[in-house]
Amino acid sequence: MDFIDTFAKRNFAFNQIPDLKGKVAIITGSNTGIGKVCALEMAKQGATVILACRNKEKTLKVVDEIKAHTGNQNVEFIQLNLLKLASVKEFADQFLARHSELHILMNNAGVMMCPFGLSEDGIETQFATNHVAHFYLTMLLLPVLEKSAPSRIINVSSIGHRMPFKALNLESISDPAKYNKFIHYAKSKTCNILFTRELSKRLEQKGVNNVYVNANHPGGVKTDLYRHTSSILNFFVNKFLITPEDGALTQLYLATSPDVEQKPIKGEYYVPFANAAKPQGVAASEDGPLKLWEFTENLLKEKVPGYQGAPI
């Protein structure tokens, strides 16, 4: 972790978010932390915002809170359990039954450094939540994102991708004997960047020039992501963490700023506060994006009955 996020150059602020009336946004993991801030700020600017979360009771309270605070009644909850690929499909089906457009998909939800566990589909928890489910969700929604363009996809990664490891070793990613909660977290966050690079490349090759896919590191943020780290580490880390409001800035920049279309910004990695950066290690490898894409596609074909493959 970089402990200098607080002092980073600020290239974006909430008051620079443009009018979002007519825009439809999905934010995963948006009932707490930076996802909640993103939902609130986009709702303030008139967007229709879908909170894609697992906990219905908790999320409905946040929906009511955002409506009351903003006066925007176009704030919705659709249940999404990222540890169950069938739930991802159910979410996409429900969304598409309600909406014919999607302009912003923010793949924000994540888990960090948790004890070993498997998703309902038998995939290691961090890899399943942080990468596989979001990949699947994006593929299910890609046709409507293309149809609604200009549109944006933001994959929330982490500076944690810089932890030292030599290879993803995807074939053993769900093997408990090979599990290291720190390295597996780094690998899952590396996957967010590799996925961003490959999807952006494929869109360009298809001739789709107005779907903007980018990744970001929010910063070291005071959220409940740190619940699986030690109390001693928490004590010291909390001295340097930034607020969820500051943590939301970089992904809100990628989701809403006119810069993204004007420059244009595609297949890039941004850090606080809306600063371009270069991924490191495996995330910067030449062959990594395609290898991850092919592995994930084969995994989904194995785990999801009837999955026909990505629409790109």
- Amino acid identity at 103: H
The residues that are catalytic are 185
Residue 152, φ and ψ in degrees, nearest 5: -140, 145
Whether the Cβ atoms of residue 267 and residue 197 lie closer than 8 Å to each other:
yes
- Mark 276-306 as b/e (b = at least 16 C-beta within 10 Å): eeebebbbbbeebbebbbebbbebbeebeee
Whether the Cβ atoms of residue 215 and residue 25 lie closer than 8 Å to each other:
no
Query: How remote is the C-alpha of 276 from its chain's centroid?
Result: 17
Partner residues linked to 213 by β-bridges: 153
Helix 181-206 to helix 288-303 angle (10° resolution) is: 100
297-to-6, 168, 179, 235, 292 alpha-carbon distances in Å: 38, 16, 22, 40, 8
Whether the Cβ atoms of residue 81 and residue 154 lie closer than 8 Å to each other:
no
